Amino acid sequence: MNNKLHEKLIDWYELNGRALPWRETRDPYCIWISEIILQQTRVDQGITYYYRFIDRFPDVESLATASEQEVLRLWQGLGYYSRARNLHKAAQQIVQSGHNWTDMARNQATLFHFLISLPGVGEYTAGAIASFAYNLPYPALDGNVYRVLSRLFDCDMAFDTTQGKKHFRQLAEQLLDRTRPRLFNSAIMELGALHCLPNAPDCHSCPLQTWCKAFENNTVDLLPVRKPRPKVRDRYFEYHIYLTPDWHTLLHRRTANDIWKHLYEFPLNEYADGFPTTDIQCIGTYRHILSHQRIHTRFLLHKVTTLPNVAECITISLNDLDTYPVSRLTMNAIEILDRLF
Ligand code: SF4
């Protein structure tokens, strides 16, 4: 059964797969960068960042020797900044280890073990690099593949639990085309991205319809199943923008183990239950939604003759703001300042 299924799927992919830059390379470094960028990012947005990253850091050595500030600055706007911090740390780890990826590929287990030991690299990314760069027989299960597998096998186990991940990995191992893992993984991911969509999948023209248990059992719309999501937490961020007549301001670097670690922002007061009343000029309000947090924001403007002494802040000229990596919210504040002054 699998041979026929592989043939159908790969034929479909060869006709319908998108030409994407990371599919045209076998360089494990470029594939790794693309896979990290594409986590939580749309392909069209990812392409811009991929080129930007590869242009500036064409190899693992150039990424390893860059400053974290520069890496974060290049990542700015993509969100989930731990991905950029981990990429940077992993590049340093690779360079320090002196490992040569090509030599390691001669021993599949060593390569996979090494990949998965890198910060930010899990089973999915390690499988993607091993199969796309070296054509090694490892499955690569991203959200699209989980969806296709859950429907193909009519499996209603939550795929994002420990037990679910293990089960779906077994299904993926069972289905993998071991002679053409690179093509097979690309094809099944693409089927999920273009065809077996979360809503209204096009089952009638699907190359896998003959084998699809959910189609047969009329359960397509019920799959895939996720574990219940944690409650969304509300946070209230009040940013204080101090501005002197010669255009200087204060910035703070986030250091806590929290969102936007190591990014810069204006001095912040955080409240848990809403903002207090204020007489200070408010120049903008936003609501920023993250996966488990809803961040209510307001920007308060203080026109001052001299900057106050605020703990752990640095003084910078407004003209230099764009050399600092900042969060989406701080970018919003900068856009407001550009419009106002
Ligand atoms: S038949 Fe429908 S549900 Fe099954 S794999 Fe194809 S598109 Fe997905």
Q: Which domains does the chain have, with CATH numbers?
A: 2-222 (1.10.340.30), 233-340 (3.90.79.10)
- The per-residue pLDDT for 294 is 96
> Residue 146 has what pLDDT?
98
Give the whole-angstrom CA distance, residue 146 versus residue 148.
6
- Answer whether 187's CB lies under 8 Å from 200's CB: no
**pLDDT value at residue 229:** 87
How many residues belong to the chain? Answer: 341
What is the edge-to-edge ordering of all strands in the sheet holding 264-265?
264-265, 248-253, 313-317
Question: Among the options 7, 24, 35, 68, which is catalytic?
Answer: 35
Dist CA 21 CA 38 (whole Å)? 12
User: What residue ranges of the chain have pLDDT lower than 50?
Assistant: none
Probe residue for ligand 1, chosen from 9, 12, 152 as the CB with the greatest number of ligand atoms within 8 Å: 152
For residue 334, the model assigns a pLDDT of 92
Is 216 in the active site? no
pTM for this model (two decimals): 0.87
Per-residue pLDDT, 341: 86
Q: Residue 83: what pLDDT? A: 95
Q: Report pLDDT for 256.
A: 87
- Chain centroid, CA 73 distance in Å: 16
164 CB near ligand 1 (under 6 Å): no
Q: Which two three-digit tokens encode residue 248?
A: 């200087």
